[in-house]
């Protein structure tokens, strides 16, 4: 809801502060008093083009500030958060537009700079202006489908869920087909790689085992000559063990002759035992370091091939066993992929059919709701002096590429204003007053189906009077029970319905040497007696008569 409007140095407005309340508010005044200036100023705050010509002469800049309040759960707060604007739910929104006399402008929302395009988006949540100055809201076909659904209380959640599931299966199928295509291109390579690696049969930890064995065999080759000589020295015919045994036998024959000889024999026996152990260990070492050239060649060939395969497939040698399993798994996926794709295709087809069935059901609900909407709008037209007009909600099925979570329909409100004329979009209506009255009819019927908090009608009663003006006033009052309405009017019947009434008039103060631009537009909130006098003026013209005042009192009692 619009709470206040502050205007500084815009065209003929020097300084103006207006406070607004709920319900129906009207602005009246003689032709040329400046009502359009007020709308231009408000439009500026809502994102209209900033023209430096709007700045009052002798001023450096013009400023328009509008303050709004919204329910805490209003969709605009989520939109502001999505656009990185810091505004708490339920916080008042203060929109300010500054226009410089030398060109350029700035837009602020709660003192945060915003672009003009974002300001326009924000204002679409806040206010609608119908008439010759601005066309938005109901004239935008993109909103018609939602308005129709809201009017008929149509639940689109089942269609949205069906569409989401269909798109999920569509995505999974596309990914599977793409993966299959990629894998098919690699199938021949995979088969060759698996065959090669399977034939080689790499084992866990094989590289370290082969490297250790190769190292030992290389040591054996290097030590073989030395070990052979040592063996001859210890175990040969003339080796140490043979000589020690000969010495022991001979010493044994004489050891009883002298105690020292017995001790020498004992030491010699120990030497023979130690020499035997050395010979046995030397034999074991020779066995471990057995220099088998064929075995060394085989070990080296295996090790080099293992490392070459690892480099070829860009993995560590110890990772080759698991790499083989991975490649085998990919081959199995390719072989079983056709079956998986067939299942996905069946699931996708079923999901599409379910969506189409739900969308068709929604389409039929919309057609029935459209008939009710058309009938309701048509009933509102005759009292508004639009007896020849016809209204039709046009529903067309979209191409499959345009289907979405809200169904398969394109919805547009159309009208024919003359007998025999074709139906056309609302924007094709030529007369501003006729368009405003038609917008009023739609607004009355769709009351509660929209989220806009404030609606402005500019001269909705243009060219009508009497019973039609009364009908307009009655409908505006009814609509103001659900939305805040501001109406610029020349009709006393409409003005009499207002909860708030402002008079717009020009003021001509005496010019001074410093001020070359003296004319000012002023807006005054009227008391009840002042309202009666203004409505009487609207009834009688320049000279207010007692009869006009009496008629004004009767209108105000409505």
**Which residue is listed with tokens 């919309």?**
366
- The pLDDT value recorded for residue 352 is 96
| C-alpha span between 13 and 36 (Å, rounded) | 12
Q: Which residue has the higher pLDDT, 359 or 453?
A: 359
pLDDT band at 258 (very low <50, low <70, confident <90, very high): confident
| C-alpha span between 165 and 354 (Å, rounded) | 10
CA atoms 176, 181, 186, 188: torsion sign: positive
DSSP of 283-335: HHHHHHT---HHHHHHHHHHHHHHHHHHHHTTS-GGGHHHHHHHHHHHHHHHH
Report the pLDDT averaged over residues 14-43.
85
In 3D space, the residue among 152, 160, 126 whose CA is nearest the CA of residue 374 turns out to be 152
Identity of the highest mean pLDDT range in 23-37, 82-96, 365-379, 483-497: 365-379
Domains of the chain from N-terminus onward: 2-156+407-526 (3.40.50.300), 165-339 (no CATH)
- The pLDDT value recorded for residue 135 is 46
| C-alpha span between 265 and 452 (Å, rounded) | 123
Residue 21's CB is within 10 A of a number of other CB atoms, namely 12
pLDDT band at 452 (very low <50, low <70, confident <90, very high): low
How far are the Cα atoms of 184, 201, 315, 321, 330 from residue 193, in angstroms, in the given order? 15, 12, 13, 12, 12
Edge-to-edge strand ranges of the sheet holding 424-425: 390-397, 409-416, 424-425
Q: pLDDT for 433-444, tens place per residue?
A: 677 778 888 888
Q: Which residue has the higher pLDDT, 528 or 287?
A: 528
Question: Of 40-44, 215-219, 247-251, 339-343, where does mean pLDDT reach its minimum?
Answer: 215-219
Residue 429 clears pLDDT 80, i.e. is over it: no
Query: What percentage of residues in the chain have a pLDDT greater than 90?
Result: 29
- The pLDDT value recorded for residue 430 is 52
- The pLDDT value recorded for residue 518 is 61
108 Cβ contact list (under 8 Å, min separation 6): 94, 95, 96, 97, 98, 114
In 3D space, the residue among 341, 339, 337, 335 whose CA is nearest the CA of residue 194 turns out to be 335
- The pLDDT value recorded for residue 500 is 93
Cα within 13 Å of Cα(108), Cβ side: 13
Structure tokens at 372: 């009710």
- The pLDDT value recorded for residue 180 is 78
Mean pLDDT of the residues in the chain: 84
Residue 134 clears pLDDT 50, i.e. is over it: no
Torsion of CA 238, 241, 243, 245, to 10 degrees: -140
pLDDT band at 502 (very low <50, low <70, confident <90, very high): very high
In 3D space, the residue among 1, 41, 235 whose CA is nearest the CA of residue 134 turns out to be 41
Q: Which residue has the higher pLDDT, 224 or 430?
A: 224
In 3D space, the residue among 382, 362, 408 whose CA is nearest the CA of residue 158 turns out to be 362
Residue 300 clears pLDDT 90, i.e. is over it: no
pLDDT band at 133 (very low <50, low <70, confident <90, very high): very low
C-beta of residue 369 within 8 angstroms of C-beta of residue 151: yes
pLDDT band at 337 (very low <50, low <70, confident <90, very high): low
Report the pLDDT averaged over residues 300-324.
90
Query: What percentage of residues in the chain have a pLDDT greater than 70?
Result: 90
Residue 33 clears pLDDT 80, i.e. is over it: no
Q: Which residue has the higher pLDDT, 7 or 191?
A: 7
| C-alpha span between 28 and 500 (Å, rounded) | 11
Query: If DSSP codes are grouped into helix, strand and coil, which group holds residue 8?
Result: strand
How many Å separate Cα 366 from the centre of its chain?
28
- The pLDDT value recorded for residue 255 is 77
pLDDT band at 256 (very low <50, low <70, confident <90, very high): confident
- The pLDDT value recorded for residue 418 is 82
How far are the Cα atoms of 175, 496, 540 from residue 543, in angstroms, in the given order? 81, 19, 6
| C-alpha span between 228 and 236 (Å, rounded) | 10
pLDDT band at 431 (very low <50, low <70, confident <90, very high): low
Q: Which residue has the higher pLDDT, 417 or 198?
A: 198
What is the per-residue burial (b if ≥16 Cβ within 10 Å, else e) of 406-434?
bbbbbbbbbbbbeeeeeeeebeebeebbb
Residue 275 clears pLDDT 90, i.e. is over it: no
């Amino acid at each position: 809801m619009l709470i206040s409007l502050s205007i500084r140095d815009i065209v003929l407005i020097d300084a103006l502060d207006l406070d607004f309340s709920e319900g129906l508010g009207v602005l009246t005044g003689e032709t040329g008093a400046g009502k359009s200036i007020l709308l231009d100023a408000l439009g500026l705050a809502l994102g209209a083009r900033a023209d430096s010509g709007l700045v009052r002469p002798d001023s450096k800049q013009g400023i328009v500030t509008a303050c709004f309040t919204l329910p805490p759960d209003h969709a605009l707060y989520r939109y502001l958060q999505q656009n990185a604007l810091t505004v708490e739910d339920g916080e008042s929104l203060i929109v300010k537009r500054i226009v410089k006399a030398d060109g350029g402008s700035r837009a602020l929302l709660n003192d945060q700079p915003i672009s003009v395009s974002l300001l326009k988006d924000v204002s679409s949540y806040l206010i609608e202006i119908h008439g010759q100055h601005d066309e938005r809201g109901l004239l935008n076909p993109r909103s018609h489908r939602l308005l129709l659904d809201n009017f008929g209380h149509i639940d689109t959640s089942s269609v949205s869920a069906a569409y989401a599931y269909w798109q999920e299966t569509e995505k999974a199928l596309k990914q599977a087909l793409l993966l299959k295509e990629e894998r098919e291109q690699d199938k021949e390579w995979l088969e060759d790689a698996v065959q090669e690696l399977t034939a080689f049969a790499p084992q866990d930890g094989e590289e370290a085992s082969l490297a250790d064995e190769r190292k030992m065999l290389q040591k054996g080759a290097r030590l073989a000559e030395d070990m052979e000589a040592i063996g001859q020295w210890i175990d040969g015919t003339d080796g140490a063990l043979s000589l020690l045994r000969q010495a022991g036998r001979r010493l044994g024959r004489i050891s009883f002759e002298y105690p020292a000889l017995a001790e020498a024999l004992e030491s010699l026996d120990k030497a023979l035992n130690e020499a035997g152990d050395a010979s046995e260990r030397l034999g074991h070492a020779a066995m471990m370091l057995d220099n088998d050239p064929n075995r060394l060649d085989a070990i080296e060939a295996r090790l080099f091939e293992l490392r070459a395969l690892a480099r070829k497939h860009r993995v560590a040698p110890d990772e080759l066993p698991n790499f083989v399993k991975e490649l085998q798994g990919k081959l199995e996926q390719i072989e079983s992929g056709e079956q998986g794709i067939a299942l996905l295709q069946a699931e996708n087809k079923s999901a599409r059919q379910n969506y189409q069935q739900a969308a068709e059901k929604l389409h039929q609900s919309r057609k029935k709701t459209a008939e009710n909407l058309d009938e309701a709008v048509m009933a509102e037209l005759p009292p508004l002096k639009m007896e020849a007009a016809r209204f039709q909600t046009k529903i067309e099925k979209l191409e499959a590429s345009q289907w979405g979570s809200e169904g398969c329909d394109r919805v547009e409100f159309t009208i024919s204003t003359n007998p025999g004329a074709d139906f056309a979009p609302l924007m094709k209506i030529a007369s501003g007053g006729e368009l405003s009255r038609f917008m009023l009819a739609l607004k009355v019927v769709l009351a509660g189906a929209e989220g806009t908090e404030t609606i402005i009608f500019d001269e909705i009663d243009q060219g009508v009077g009497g019973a039609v003006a009364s009908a307009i006033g009655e409908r505006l009052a009814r609509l103001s029970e659900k939305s805040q309405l501001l109406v610029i009017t020349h009709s006393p019947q409409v003005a009499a319905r207002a909860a708030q009434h402002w008079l717009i008039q020009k003021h001509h103060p005496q010019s001074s040497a410093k001020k070359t631009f003296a004319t000012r537009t002023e807006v005054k909130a009227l008391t009840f007696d002042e309202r009666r006098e203004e409505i009487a003026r609207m009834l009688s013209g320049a000279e207010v008569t007692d009869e006009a005042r009496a008629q004004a009192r009767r209108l105000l009692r409505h």
